[in-house]
Amino acid sequence: MNSKLLRVSIATTLLALWFAGCGGGVQGTYSDQTGAFVLQLNSGGQATFTFAGQSAPCAYTANGNAIALNCQGAAGSVNLTVQSDGSLTGPPGTLMPPLRKK
């Protein structure tokens, strides 16, 4: 194996391990433009979803560009999609606008 190919292989492996170690980069705070919808994705699959000032504890799993959010109370469960720009969107026809990482 030539040295250039070896360096590319090592760099790719390290990058993949970094993404795996940080939850694929989905952790953080997301909100819509008005701040009415706020989603905080924490380590360990824990989250908080806030709508109009009312918060609910949630659990989530991330798999590729899909996030399954399961919240207590009226918030319930929803499947979100990570878009190419990093924003999160709900299923078509829902009232939730795209959420952007802050």
Q: pLDDT of 57-96, one tens digit each?
A: 999 999 999 999 999 988 899 999 999 999 999 998 888 9
Question: Which residues, including other chains, have CB under 8 Å from residue 59's CB and lie 6 or more apart?
Answer: 45, 46, 47, 69, 70
Compute the distance between CA of residue 74 and CA of residue 34 in angstroms, rounded to an integer. Answer: 21
For residue 37, tell me if it sits in a domain: yes
pTM, two decimals, is: 0.74
For residue 96, tell me if it sits in a domain: yes
CATH number at residue 80: 2.40.128
Give me the pLDDT at residue 24, please: 52
For residue 19, tell me if it sits in a domain: no
Which of 19-23, 43-47, 96-100 is least confident?
19-23
Residue 36 lies in domain: 25-101
